[in-house]
Structure 1
């Protein structure tokens, strides 16, 4: 067992040396000298008797849902009930149960959400995401990738006025895990808003966000999150939110989505719960 352990350690060391050279963290002289030393030691240990652990098979395309999604659901916000209709041409989000926790990806293009409110409110644009991307890459002792996010769209303002604001967002941070205990992340997310309902017509600031992506049971995927921050340029405001969202796979192209959260923004505070049936095609 000790010899096998030494073989695996040296194989990992050799891979790490090659990786550092490719990433230009070592010059060629140091690379050749260090690699030759490691290979000499490794050659004395022979060949490992046991086979390498099997590589997990990725999700087969024929078992994945379609790329476009149509959703219909019910939202309860501040004691008011409304119907929500959403169409997303592409592609996936962080709580998609078809993908493993290690695939911390959100890739959304052209998602449009309409709110059919109580009598008198009619049909309103709840939100529009022209593009919304978040890439969470888990870090470990050897690899330290940077996670990042970027997006642009329109966002509704809570309350009676229900105005619309242009939103441009981005950010970077770190993620850990991706195994049986889920994927955790921490991000710093600057945000810019513009609209006639804001002082000076704009607001610039940001939030810090922490989240945990996990599975409660097979064929489901959930995210618990919390964020807080503020906006100091233009319209000044405090922002905070915390909640839980998730999806349960009912069939290849049918998912059931759930979201509940409490948020404070633009001087208003409220609690929102939403449930929707998703059809992929």
Structure 2
């Protein structure tokens, strides 16, 4: 509860009529329910609310509480076998605006050696993203248009969803919760079964609810107080680290990461074979009987084919019967080739080492020989000019980014971005992603010298390697001038160098043509230096007709 007001509004969660805002009344009503003459079976108050029952027994030591025969609860408790907990962070999904922040959920570890046999506690909006327009989903999520619900699912199901189908790397942060604390959290989760809460994309989201659960497990910590306006998934990880909850970390590469590794191992002459095997235009025997393919290459081809087949099945690109038959052929023939070297996938930078979400900026510069000072604030969360260390390459989400300038005793708006999203997904032999970007707000890129309101949406392609990536985009834009709405079509080419932890480079050139017949060239170049995890120095140059702008900016993230 916050100020004695519960964030849960579902009446099924309370015994007292005013239980959502009167904890004392709810406590007495709970005790009365436990001691009532109701039948003490699975439907009893004790079996429905085991966390409250245990808490009251601990606090009222010596009181002889009634007992109940909780068959279903005991069955699930024994099956899940709560021993410890892990905070899991699936990284951003590059082509889904609703998932670009990443996600967090908690894995309940059992006494089994395999973590795949564990269970995951997940919280999400009660919506089918596959059937709803992405923009509608985002708007409803921002305005509380969905109810959120908890679910308890096998961990391997969540891995299939995030790692295999959505191509997201998985980061696992083992927590130092004790067995007793983990079981306290599980009892609370049981109470939330079929209970719905209001879901908000930036505040009461998956990450916020995971913070709640960690506080339930260990009441001495206060994690939510650090967040007022937003709770971004990877910020949950930062906060868990700050609270001393994380004891170890591990990384599970996505299907995409594995296939990209095979791209570097398979000879270019054979790189299309895995795709041909999966789509049926080539047969396994064609690989096995081909004496021109070295045995090591055959191993890589079949292994990549298995990975690509599993990915295709997860995306419903192949039928189950075909998948099972081909999977059997591929694995059987791969076994005939004997043991090969295990592929080693380089672990990318850990998200826990990335910069935090809120950015403040101050700096100096010049425009046409006039000295300028700058001051800016951005609540969320990352752009392509920030250090990419710990972030998914090619992604950008900016929300309410404001930059002001002061020159010649005049305060002006340099930039007022309401929302900006970039998804520059690099194309490769296995994945032919479309890059896209959209932006809405005020900037100084129009023909005039003042900040002008605009909306733009563009699409194109991007290609990359270990050093960085290049991209080409076509962007229609609309500017709302004082007189009318002016449209333009622009073509952009750019590149980003992001290989190095301590620096990043971005250059973009754009040629625009407006409906009034005018043409415009825009050039922007930035060089960033990461001086610490949450500090960056940036040198920036911007050119448009009859105007050049030089900036030295200092970013601090918190």
TM range (shorter): 0.7 to 0.9
Counterparts in 2 of 1:17 and 1:252: CA distance versus 1, 3 Å: closer
Q: Relative contact order (alpha carbons < 8 A, sep ≥ 6): 1 or 2 greater?
A: 1
SS in 2 for 1:127: strand
Judged with a 3 Å threshold, the aligned counterparts in structure 2 of structure 1 residues 3 and 148 are, in CA distance, closer, same or farther, namely: same
Is the contact made by 2:454 and 2:477 (CA closer than 8 Å) also made in structure 1? yes
TM-score (norm 1): 0.85
Deviations 1:201-221 (A, max 9, x none): 111122111111104854000
**In 2 relative to 1, CA 26–218 (structure 1 residues): closer, same or farther, beyond 3 Å?**
closer
Q: TM-score, normalised by structure 2?
A: 0.44
Tell me how far 1:6 sits from its aligned partner.
1.6
1:10 match: secondary structure: helix
TM-aligned CA deviation for residue 32 of structure 1: 4.5
Checking the alignment, whether the CA contact within 8 Å between 2:349 and 2:390 is kept in structure 1 is no
Gaps of 5+ in 2: 1-292
Partner of 1:247: 528
Q: For residues 339 and 477 of structure 2, what CA distance do their matches in structure 1 show?
A: 54
SS at 2:311 equivalent: helix
Aligned equivalents of 1:72 and 1:156: distance in 2? 18
Q: Which residue of 1 aligns with 2:508?
A: 225
Question: What does residue 278 of structure 1 align with?
Answer: 555
**Does residue 103 of structure 1 match 2:393?**
yes
Equivalent residue pairs, number: 266
Q: Report deviation, 1:101.
A: 8.5
Q: 2:329 aligns with which of 29, 37, 40?
A: 37
Q: Would you say the 8 A contact 1:102–1:178 is kept in 2? A: no
Contact kept, 8 Å, 2:351 with 2:390, in 1: the verdict is no
Q: Deviations over 1:160-214 (max 9, x none)?
A: x7434211111111111141x2111111111111120x5xx11112211111110
What is the Cα-based RMSD across aligned positions, in Å? 2.5
Q: Residues 26-105 of structure 1: matches in 2 within 5 Å?
A: 26-28=318-320, 30-48=322-340, 50-61=341-352, 63-99=353-389, 103-105=393-395
The CA distance in 2 between the partners of 1:111 and 1:38, in whole Å, is 51
- 2:415 aligns with one of 108, 127, 152: 127
What secondary structure, in the 3-state scheme, does the structure 1 residue paired with 2:300 have?
helix
3-state secondary structure, aligned to 1:139 = coil
Deviations 1:13-62 (A, max 9, x none): 122233334334444555455444333322311332x332044143241x
Distance 2:446 2:396 in 1: 24
Matches of 1:28 and 1:64, distance apart in 2: 40
Aligned to 1:163: 450
